[in-house]
Structure 1
Amino acid sequence: MRVLDRPLTCVVCAGDRFTERSITIITSGLANSGFNKSGQAVTCAACGYIHQFVTGSVSPG
């Protein structure tokens, strides 16, 4: 995976294998306010640390 055209490595263990899923980033303090943003959660396969990004920041390979 890449972020800003650079290879993504885990900030905890320096791993380079991840799983990805869509998330909702709560920006207003209220879960159903309509002001929240979509995001991507990228989980390190080695240690389980979850990296969060605004949708579109992460690209494959």
Structure 2
Amino acid sequence: MGSKPVRVALGEVWLTCQVCQGDLFRERRVLLNSAGMEFMKLAWADESATGLICWQCGYVHLFVNKAIKLYKADK
């Protein structure tokens, strides 16, 4: 997963950063760990989310909605 910039859409809506309004992101998978699963050494089984890191300011947006679409962008 990437260090390449992507643009993101949810249906017909193009997403922008909540902080700086930038429209380029870097994608990363993020585990949503719970204390109980960590304690039992089963954190790998926790739910994951798509982390979108704003290319401009670095703010991290998390999405568990699988309907988001990522599109390659030229920086």
| Letter of the 2:59 counterpart | Y
SS in 1 for 2:18: coil
Number of positions where the alignment pairs a residue of Structure 1 with one of Structure 2: 59
Instruction: Mark the structure with the bigger radius of gyration.
Output: 2
Q: Which runs of 5+ in 1 are unaligned?
A: none
1:17 paired with 2:35, answer no
Quick one: distance in 1 between partners of 2:51 and 2:17?
13
| Letter of the 1:45 counterpart | W
Alignment of 1:24-39 (within 5 A): 24-26=31-33, 28-30=34-36, 31=38, 32=42, 34=45, 36-39=46-49
1:7 aligned partner: 14
Q: Normalized against structure 2, the TM-score is what? A: 0.65
Q: Which runs of 5+ in 2 are unaligned?
A: 1-7
> Which ranges of 4 or more aligned residues in structure 1 deviate by more than 4 Å?
none
- Bigger fraction of residues in helix: 2
Cα offset for 1:60?
A: 1.6
Sequence identity (%): 32
